Amino acid sequence: MAKKKRAYHHGDLRRVLLDASVDLVAKRGVDELSLREVARHAGVSPAAPYHHFASKGELLGAIALDGFALLADAMRRALEVEARGSPVEKLRAIGEAYVTFAIDHPAHFHLMFHPSLLPFAESTKEGAPAHAFAILSEAIAQVVAVPEIGARASQAGLVVLAWSLVHGAASLVLDGPLAGGLPELGVRAEEVPELVTRTFASLMSPRPAKVATHRAK
Amino acid sequence: MAKKKRAYHHGDLRRVLLDASVDLVAKRGVDELSLREVARHAGVSPAAPYHHFASKGELLGAIALDGFALLADAMRRALEVEARGSPVEKLRAIGEAYVTFAIDHPAHFHLMFHPSLLPFAESTKEGAPAHAFAILSEAIAQVVAVPEIGARASQAGLVVLAWSLVHGAASLVLDGPLAGGLPELGVRAEEVPELVTRTFASLMSPRPAKVATHRAK
DNA sequence: TGTACATCAGTGAACGCGCGTTCACTGATGTAC
DNA sequence: TGTACATCAGTGAACGCGCGTTCACTGATGTAC
């Protein structure tokens, strides 16, 4: 079709397989994905992928690791944009980046947290996953250093809270009951990353400041 | 083994199949579950379940619906315990009940939010899922009615925030990277429901009150 | 209480399917001299 | 520049597997009279 005639040796099959997998996971979900289908999509025999990955799990694990790197990048970029902002505003920006990342890269996000791939992703304890976590951790340390906040919440409490918050928002919008937003309340799905993090930031701010997207009556 | 000799007609096969499915999903996860394995566990031929459920999806959908009813119940009970508490404390109790429910009933929780079962669970828009949501919604309305909070957050913002928070905490502890708690920060997995909701409540409280489980330094 | 019969709730064999992975193979590519 | 050869990256057929579901069946149970 639109497929270029390639040399016999594909040259870039590894990349093509990864991309095809991402597409298929995004379309059908992790559990519907088969390696044979990926090969079919890449226009290649079912055995070909084994020249690039030892197993299906290794292929998906590679995508998961890519995902953590992309996430860490997105978080870092968000931080830079808010370089002059308050600790709370920085944390908010990171959080929004997390949720937005999940929505923009659903396949990566699903694979990153798929239980069956933990062995593959864990193998690099020092790599991208740890890096992403470190960014969050550091941002929270700065928030906790604000006296009004430190008096109410611990580092551990805030880490678990913040992570849960953005992870939950991502999950509910991606797979779950928030996929269509919350029409009765006038919330569209694409507003969720901002709404949820801005509401959070409002609650943390030392004194009542701006109200989140949906003005309280 | 410990299996009672039963009459030829099993009498309670429907129940047995549901229970076996819950066990197996809890042990292996939704996607590893096969109807044949459920039948095997129930000591019955692979065709037997079809006298009770039209398909595998219908069986799992029935469990998901049970789950929503159990969840709504747990939330309602938590509310009763806090009957004399503040709106924030009521909301916190509901949230803790949500996370605890997920941990105590992992199979139900997974099935309730499994995308492939949405058709089955959605079929009862007026049933248990809507009921659980209504409890949350009402608790949040009371929270928003507190002036200091209403000035900072909208109903919509808080609904999405609160749901995301508890859903994320549940997901991270059940499947994810929080399954083992957060040892570096001294958080054990079983503390998460309380820690996360108490930190949340502290942040919402009009004035600095108690600090969450982990005291700020 | 007994009997005839309909219905219920199982059985076990079979269906077609797509899967992950392995294998022996072969044509294309890269390298040494 | 040409040639010999090792290696690389594919092919295509085959493996064994477990799955969801269907089917004709049959023994157990419940019901009408």
Residue A154 to residue B211, Cβ atoms within 8 A: yes
Return the closest nucleotide (C1') to the Cα of A8: C28
Tens-of-pLDDT digits for all 217 residues of chain A?
223 334 456 679 999 999 999 999 999 999 999 999 999 999 999 999 999 999 999 999 999 999 999 999 999 999 999 999 999 999 999 999 999 999 999 999 999 999 998 877 655 557 889 999 999 999 999 999 999 999 999 999 999 999 999 999 999 999 989 999 999 999 999 999 999 999 999 999 866 544 454 544 3
**A132 part of contact set with chain B, CB < 8 Å:** no
Instruction: Flag residues 42-61 of A with CB < 7 Å from strand D.
Output: 43-48, 51-52
SS3 at position B146:
coil
pTM of the model: 0.92
Q: Residues B99, B198: contact at Cβ < 8 Å?
A: no
DSSP state of B191: G
**A103 part of contact set with chain B, CB < 8 Å:** no
**B69 part of contact set with chain A, CB < 8 Å:** no
Q: How many CA atoms lie within 13 A of B10 on its CB side?
A: 16
- Minimal CA separation from B150 to chain A, in Å: 6
Query: What are the chain A neighbours of B113 within 8 Å (beta carbons)?
Result: 171, 175-177
**pLDDT tens-digit map of B22-71:** 999 999 999 999 999 999 999 999 999 999 999 999 999 999 999 999 99
Q: Residues A212, A96: contact at Cβ < 8 Å?
A: no
**A142 part of contact set with chain B, CB < 8 Å:** no
Six-digit token string for A68: 């953590």
Q: Which of A176, A182, A208 sits opposite B159 (nearest CB)?
A: A182
- Residues 6 or more apart whose CB falls under 8 angstroms from that of B1 comprise none
User: What does the angle CA B31 – CA B38 – CA B43 come to, to the nearest 5 degrees?
Assistant: 165
Measured CA to CA, the distance from residue B36 to residue B14 in angstroms comes to 15
- Minimal CA separation from B98 to chain A, in Å: 13
